[in-house]
A = this chain, B = another copy of it.
């Protein structure tokens, strides 16, 4: 039965045995499935996914846009760059088309006060406060979290995994924000499902528990307790020889392991929350910002000079589609804008856009925003962050335990937190 909303196929899960159980039908889980089946097509692979769609933190949506038409935009992961070889190779292999992120014109930068300044590049450090606020802009945009909340050591590891800070913050031509995928990034996962076989994928299935079953012959199996999210009274038991958890560390910490995870790994996962992105897309009849000489770009701390007051937007980008339909997208990271009603939030975001680009911003053709905190089986976006003081066990993040393997972009060594890291992590194939 196809999913009414997303057009994806829904299979019904029954109690069964398999060789490999993969948890998570995002990019890394699906790459794992493809690699395992490439190595041995005879293996029985089952992929369970908690959401009603594949793609994980990539999510492509359709909006009304200029000329009375509709077009697709990404409300999740969006950009790729040249040095992200794992995702670039996959895009070629899947025959997807990329196009450049528009960057011409003046980009706004607002650091730490209500005064606004125009810059085309990140400005030089003027004073300590300015430096602190600049770092805050960077961590809010890269991780969805204020600099004060995260480990500097993790920041360094993360940046190193992508090459250098210039590439990560997208100010270079080869940077992480250089290109987009025509038609949206969720196609990556959908095309991987075509290859792997949709019959192996079970949507709306939440993993509750992993129990180790020790057998007489010395071989150990895992029993997975799985709950349907559509009918919560429906529980399935899957036994598997290997399990791949291709989900964020914060989601691993919600699963009951019997026995418990090793000490280090348990403490690491319990202190590895997701950052918090609220992403919006607004489509327009005309690209009024370009006509005024603006790139459509804006970066801000969101702070104002008035204590307790904050602007919603921390970043905005031109999001004109491959077909030339004008749009702006951006992120609200400041927590102030999380617990308000959708109506209040939309108004504040459009007002903030108008503050930079003019009142035309108040009248979009269509508008959508998504609070990734509300997305089940992520509980945040774009990536997990490690708070101050929890890096001690970090080296164990990708270490297998018994027959459980850990994938997902947080376990990558190149481009951690990006789609490219998800692809790389999915390629650490367990040896059956």
Contacts and interface: CB of A to CB of B under 8 A. Distances in A.
A14 interface: no
B253 A253 contact: yes
A260 B227 CA distance: 19
Given A208-B208, A235-B232, A379-B260, A266 B373 contact: yes
Interface residues of A, number: 40
A150 B233 CA distance: 40
B254 A335 contact: no
A195 interface: no
A263 B335 contact: yes
Given A149-B389, A250-B270, A263 B338 contact: yes
A263 B373 contact: yes
Interface string A359-392: 0000000000001011010010000000111101
A339 interface: yes
A432 to B, nearest CB: 25
A125 B256 CA distance: 43
A259 interface: yes
A83 to B, nearest CB: 31
A271 interface: yes
A209 B232 contact: yes
Given A262-B339, A387-B388, A273 B276 contact: no
A122 interface: no
Contacts of A208: 208, 227, 232
A264 interface: yes
Nearest to A254: B254
A420 to B, nearest CB: 26
Contacts of A113: none
A232 B209 CA distance: 10
Interface of A: 148-150, 208-209, 225, 227, 232-233, 235, 237, 250, 253-254, 256, 258-260, 262-264, 266-267, 270-271, 273, 276, 335, 338-339, 371, 373-374, 376, 379, 387-390, 392
Pairs of residues from A and B, 5 with the lowest C-beta to C-beta distance, nearest first:
A388-B389, A270-B273, A263-B338, A263-B335, A388-B388
14 contacts: A149-B267, A227-B235, A233-B235, A233-B237, A235-B235, A254-B254, A256-B376, A260-B373, A260-B374, A263-B339, A263-B373, A266-B379, A387-B387, A389-B389
